[in-house]
Amino acid sequence: EDQVTQSPEALRLQEGESSSLNCSYTVSGLRGLFWYRQDPGKGPEFLFTLYSAGEEKEKERLKATLTKKESFLHITAPKPEDSATYLCAVRLDQGGKLIFGQGTELSVKP
Amino acid sequence: DTEVTQTPKHLVMGMTNKKSLKCEQHMGHRAMYWYKQKAKKPPELMFVYSYEKLSINESVPSRFSPECPNSSLLNLHLHALQPEDSALYLCASSRQSTNTEAFFGQGTRLTVV
């Protein structure tokens, strides 16, 4: 069965305290892995696309990496405005299915 | 521009009502999606349209009826909903239904009373 698992479920950081979020996947036919940020009551905001093991993408304080079984979202020196739920999604080789992990709720305190 | 526009933003409807949610994109994307999201849960796929044809229906009850009138528009017709259908309904689009990232609208917050 295709599965996407994110850890931890929740993460509390102090401003400036770097950390990583994990997304592990077991899917038959990966057609891309995507990271999104979601603020309460809003739609997910696209961050990164990763296709191949070894690929890395960077944007401001965020860096996403991909291996054959998992992806990491590294957050360097986070600020309170980085507080949100971060969702990982994988696109399956099944006519357009895009399935999400459970998300990591990140809280950054000043 | 990566904008997907959903209307209305909020909707309250009775269990006997008929209403529709609308979604529009002008990015030339040929795949469009409906997702349902309950509080503290990830988005859950309902339907996928590819080139205006329904390609995936995730066993959604028939009280939800999708429609794709053209490549820019996606509707979700609602009829005889239950209180447990209350949720945030998200529309998304992507260049095509394989490989590419999807862009989401801000959602319609639906409350069934």
Q: What are the pLDDT digits (tens) for B8-66?
A: 999 999 999 999 999 999 999 999 999 999 999 999 999 999 999 999 999 999 999 99
Of B43, B50, B90, the CB nearest to A96: B50
Closest CA of chain B from A78, distance in Å = 22
Cis peptide bond prior to B69, omega within 30° of 0: no
Closest CA of chain B from A4, distance in Å = 11
Asked if B111 and B88 touch (Cβ cutoff 8 Å), the reply is no
Confidence at residue B17, expressed as pLDDT on a 0 to 100 scale: 92
Contacts of A42 in chain B (CB under 8 A): 106-107
Determine which of B21, B48, B98 to mutate to test the interface with A (most A C-beta atoms within 10 Å).
Answer: B98
Asked if B104 and B42 touch (Cβ cutoff 8 Å), the reply is no
Mean pLDDT (whole number) for A81-108? 92
- A→B contacts (Cβ < 8 Å), by residue, are 31-32, 34, 36, 41-46, 49, 51, 87, 89, 91, 93-103
Paired residues of B93 in beta bridges: B32, B103
Paired residues of A26 in beta bridges: A3
